[in-house]
């Protein structure tokens, strides 16, 4: 019989298992989001992967054609010289009837007010307890707390999940999702024990059959050990964790040069178009490939359904193992 679970996260998001696929630039498309939602988790489309707000509306419709289950949209708001039309993307989320928004980066209060007024639940992803508390005060519905292990931007505090998750759980009152460093039932069990009511995964979902990226990239994730990520942009105070490859090695070397480095020195290496091309062509050394330390825990490329079923069953089994130590 299929396992069912109930936490404040499953209740809030209307999902069967408290497992979320975090927003992922170039990867968070309909194929993956629908597969995760069909498997009982929450799939998330990445708004800025779509070139325009209209294209996001079309992608939402495409995803609806692939699943009847709820799915969400990620809106990542980062400081940039020429920002995309964030509010128009938000308007598309609202007008399309999407019920869950994952925000990351900044989360302007007026966006929160607008989304909530439209009945959208907001899961705000952040990397520090103080940011979680401020988002909670601003009215978000849940917090995803992203530990230093994570792919993407882990912040500048370098606090791993083993401390960050309970530190957040002690203070945050709204439902908490643990993110970063989780790839299997063991990690999920740990997250629940540390005080989270759900988990968010990025890298693990890249190595699934439905992830819309080249198979050679998935194989590179399977082949990598937990030591094979790099932290880039550290000297620019915008740290990012990516797969270790010739490009990210060169970025790190440039940053460590005596005299330091300006963004202009590495711009040609880190261009989003190069990263996208790497994912599409499978040439792992041609651009940045965002990935977390959990690459060391990934050794197959299952369907999302098989992955989620296995995780939930293993999580239950691991919790039972823990209990068995008490006589
Ligand atoms: C390829 C890739 C792209 C990502 N892009 C984004 C993004 O655009 N916005 C965002 O909020 N997080 C992004 N992330 C971070 C994930 O949503 C998630 O927080 C993170 O992967 C969790 O850590 P894990 O990889 O250890 O599971 C990305 C992660 C990956 C692997």
Cα Rg of the chain (Å, integer): 19
Percent of the chain with pLDDT over 90: 96
Q: 118: which DSSP letter?
A: T
Q: What is the mean pLDDT of residues 79-85?
A: 86
Q: Which of 131, 202, 241 to mutate to test the pocket of ligand 1 (most atoms within 8 A of CB)?
A: 202
Give the whole-angstrom CA distance, residue 47 versus residue 50: 6
- Mean pLDDT over all residues of the chain? 97
Q: State the distance from the centre of ligand 1 to the C-alpha of 22, rounded, in angstroms.
A: 6
Contacts of 141 (CB under 8 A, 6+ apart): 12, 116, 121, 122, 123, 174, 175
Distance (angstroms) between ligand 1 centre and the Cα of 201 equals 8
pLDDT confidence tier of residue 108, bands split at 50, 70 and 90: confident
pLDDT digits (tens, 9 = 90+) for 206-234: 999 999 999 999 999 999 999 999 999 99
Report the pLDDT value the prediction gives residue 2, as an integer from 0 to 100.
80
- Does the pLDDT at position 189 exceed 90? yes
- The reply to whether ligand 1 has any atom less than 6 angstroms from the CB of 151 is yes
Determine the distance separating the centroid of ligand 1 and the alpha carbon of 64, expressed in angstroms.
23
- pLDDT band (50, 70, 90) for residue 82: confident
Cα 324 to averaged position of ligand 1 atoms, centre (Å): 35
- For residue 292 and ligand 1, the question of a CB distance below 6 A is answered with yes
> pLDDT digit string (tens) for 43-59?
999 999 999 999 999 99
Report pLDDT digits (tens) over 37-47.
999 999 999 99
pLDDT of residue 1: 62
* pLDDT(79) > 80: no
Contact 124 CB / ligand 1 (< 6 Å): no
Q: What spacing in Å lies between the alpha carbon of 24 and ligand 1's midpoint?
A: 5
What is the distance of C-alpha 302 from the center of its chain? Answer: 18
Q: Is the CB of 131 under 6 A from ligand 1?
A: no
Average pLDDT over residues 86-115: 95
Cβ(179) to ligand 1 under 6 A? yes
Nearest to residue 145, comparing CAs of 116, 117, 176?
176
Task: Tell me the sheet residues that pair with 108.
Answer: none
User: Any idea which of 99-113, 136-150, 188-202, 216-230 has the lowest mean pLDDT?
Assistant: 99-113
| Ligand 1, pocket-test mutation among 19, 20, 22, 239, most atoms within 8 A of CB | 22
Instruction: Report d(CA 313, CA 36) in Å as an integer.
Output: 16
pLDDT the model gives residue 106: 86
Q: Measured in angstroms, how far is the CA atom of residue 323 from the centroid of ligand 1?
A: 32
């Amino acid at each position: 019989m299929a396992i069912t679970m109930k936490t404040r996260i499953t209740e809030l998001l209307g999902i069967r298992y408290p497992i979320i696929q975090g927003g992922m630039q170039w990867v968070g498309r309909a194929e993956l989001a629908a597969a995760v939602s069909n498997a009982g988790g929450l799939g998330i489309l990445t708004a800025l992967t779509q070139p325009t707000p209209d294209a996001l509306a079309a992608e939402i419709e495409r995803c609806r054609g692939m699943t009847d289950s709820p799915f969400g949209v990620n809106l990542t708001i980062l400081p940039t010289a020429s920002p995309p039309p964030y509010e128009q993307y938000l308007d598309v989320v609202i007008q399309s009837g999407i019920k869950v928004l994952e925000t990351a980066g900044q989360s302007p209060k007026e966006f929160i007010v607008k989304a909530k007024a439209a009945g959208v639940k907001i899961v705000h992803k952040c990397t520090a307890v103080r940011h979680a508390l401020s988002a909670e005060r601003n009215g978000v519905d849940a917090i995803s707390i992203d530990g230093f292990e994570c792919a993407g931007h882990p912040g500048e505090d370098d606090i791993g999940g083993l401390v960050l998750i309970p530190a957040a759980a002690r203070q945050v009152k709204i439902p908490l999702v643990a993110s970063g460093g989780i790839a299997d039932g063991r990690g999920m069990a740990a997250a629940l024990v540390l005080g989270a009511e759900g988990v968010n995964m990025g890298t693990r979902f890249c190595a699934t059959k439905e992830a819309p990226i080249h198979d050679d990239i998935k194989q590179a994730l399977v082949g990598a050990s937990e030591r094979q990520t790099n932290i880039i942009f550290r000297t620019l105070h915008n740290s990012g964790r990516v797969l270790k490859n010739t490009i990210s090695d060169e970025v790190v070397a440039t940053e460590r040069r005596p005299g330091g480095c300006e963004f202009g020195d590495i711009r040609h290496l880190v261009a989003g178009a190069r990263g996208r091309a790497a994912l599409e062509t499978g040439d792992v050394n041609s651009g940045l490939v965002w990935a977390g330390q959990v690459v060391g825990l990934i050794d197959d490329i299952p369907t999302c359904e098989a992955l989620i079923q296995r995780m939930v069953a293993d999580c239950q089994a691991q919790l039972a193992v823990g209990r068995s130590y008490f006589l």
